[in-house]
Amino acid sequence: MLPEIDTVLVQYLDAIVDTVVLRDVVERFGVRNTTFLRNLISFCADSVGSLLSAKRISEYFKSQRLNTSPQVVIDYLEYLAAAFMINRCKRYDIQGRRHFEIGEKIYFEDLGLRTAMRGFGQADLGKIMEKAVYLKLAQDGWAARVGVWDDREIDFVGSRGGELLYVQVAMSVLDEQTRQREFGNLARIDDNFPKYVVSLDSIRADERGIRHLSLREFLLLDLGC
């Protein structure tokens, strides 16, 4: 069962969004359309870990009869990132060793704020895992990007100087199809940099030189050296 969320705590976190985050962004950057700003934050909260683009976000709001241009979306996302409300995770072409200009994933800096705005359900566990891995990489000095290898996605490519590492995140890889996908995506990368699959499984097994760790084990792993 999922834990119950304390109502008082949610109210407190929601007040932080209103009085600290929104005020900071509005006053610091002179934002006029505060309604769109809050709607954008809610959209990001719903879309944690999903691949997004300014054009796609703009089109979504147009479908909701809130017309705004992709450039405005870009500007407001930059404001939220500058206020440490969100993290923006760009796409990285592993074969070409270059960053894509279009498409990124968005993660909330503080999952408590995200939960206060959108609640918490079973489907959110995967998002929380991805965010935890993202923060672990950042804490240990790695720049995290979404990896692209042909038509396949690697959840995270960490880069630091000339070093790389790769991480796939899944709630479970006990299902054979899921296991083949998560390990198979990493196995296609033909270099000798570290590769990890992180899950919540109690039973783990390394495969093809790829380490399989629980989320707890990965978070306690020393990636700083």
Q: Strands of 86-93's sheet, edge to edge? A: 51-52, 98-108, 86-93, 143-149, 152-160, 163-169, 195-199, 211-214
pLDDT score at 198: 97
pLDDT score at 4: 53
Prediction pTM value = 0.84
Residues in the chain: 225
206 token code pair: 């390394």
- Amino acid (one-letter) located at 23: R
Task: Return the DSSP state at 50.
Answer: S
96 token code pair: 């070409």
Question: In order of start, what are the domains of the chain with their CATH numbers?
Answer: 7-120 (1.10.10.10), 131-220 (3.40.1350.10)
What element of type H or E holds 75? helix 70-82
- Amino acid (one-letter) located at 83: A
Reading the chain (225 residues) residue by residue, the pLDDT tens digits are 444 556 777 777 778 777 777 788 888 899 888 889 988 988 888 888 888 889 999 999 999 888 889 999 999 999 999 988 888 899 888 877 777 777 899 888 877 777 777 766 677 788 889 989 999 999 999 999 999 888 888 999 999 988 999 999 999 999 999 999 999 999 999 889 999 999 999 888 888 899 999 999 999 998 865
